[in-house]
Amino acid sequence: MKWIGALLLISTTTWAGLEWSKKLDKRPKHIRQLINALQILEAEILYSQLPLKDAFKLMARQLPAPVCSFFNRLAMQLSKIDAELEVAWEDSVKELMLISSLGENDKEILLQFGRTLGQHDFTQQQKQIHLTITHLERELEDARDNQFKYSKMVKTLGFLAGLFIIILLF
Amino acid sequence: MITDASILFQIAGIGIIVALIHTILKQMGKEEIAQFATLVGFIIVLVMVINGLSDLFQQIKSVFLFQG
């Protein structure tokens, strides 16, 4: 009985450590996807001049998993009759935070970008997109730094913490 | 005469694991947290040792003062 409990405890803490390190590993990937999405959006706005709703639909088809459902949701909300872009954007960003590994900073950047979307002419909009991409690139560097530094450490620490607690309770 | 040596092994195990945690945290550049972890391990061991010592003093008292 004692051994089963010990095994359960150690597997729990190890799993928690693995989950944490997975989150650290995925954040740069998700930020890169966002940057990609913004570049596509820029192209759609400047060259094909699609309305935002159709642009979002198109992007959802081109992008991989978490960001894809973000734009899908956005397109769906915008196709309602009394849809407002800012509200829909904020709502979708909240949803995106739940399913992706993005951090608080990324959320702020996205929200700020959402407030500028659809308010300006082409050149201003392009500038806003570039600004957001620059911000995201800075976050990307940060996220990559954290990944290098902590993702291995968190894994080992989870296991060691489990071992520590078991010895304490033994 | 030591009847139960398990507490010794327990303390040794805590020492080893705390040392490992300290090394890993230090390698990753988190010196403060490493120091803190070591301090916590030390306090835990201290509490265990003090428990043992208080048992010892109770024994001595009961031997020399003829009361529990």
pLDDT tens digit string along A57-96? 777 777 777 777 777 777 777 777 677 777 777 777 787 7
Single-letter amino acid, residue A77 = Q
- Average pLDDT of span A90-112: 78
Determine the Cα angle at B22 with ends B32 and B35, to 5°: 30
* pLDDT value of residue B40: 92
Chain A closest CA to B53's CA: distance in Å?
Answer: 18
8 Å CB contact of B29 and A149: yes
* Distance of alpha carbon A32 from alpha carbon A77, whole angstroms: 25
Closest by CA to A23, choosing from A163, A156, A150, is A150
Contacts of B45 (CB under 8 A, 6+ apart): B11, B14, B15
B24 vs A: CB within 8 A: yes
Q: Sign of the C-alpha dihedral, residues A79, A80, A83, A85?
A: negative
State yes or no: ipTM above 0.90.
no
Exposure string over A82-104, b if 16+ CB within 10 A, otherwise e: eeebeebbbebbeebbeebbbbe
CB-nearest to B10 from A156, A157, A167 is A167
* Distance of alpha carbon A87 from alpha carbon A106, whole angstroms: 18
Chain B closest CA to A34's CA: distance in Å?
Answer: 29
* pLDDT value of residue B67: 60
* Distance of alpha carbon A90 from alpha carbon A47, whole angstroms: 26
B13 vs A: CB within 8 A: yes
- Can you read off the two tokens belonging to residue A121? 């002419």
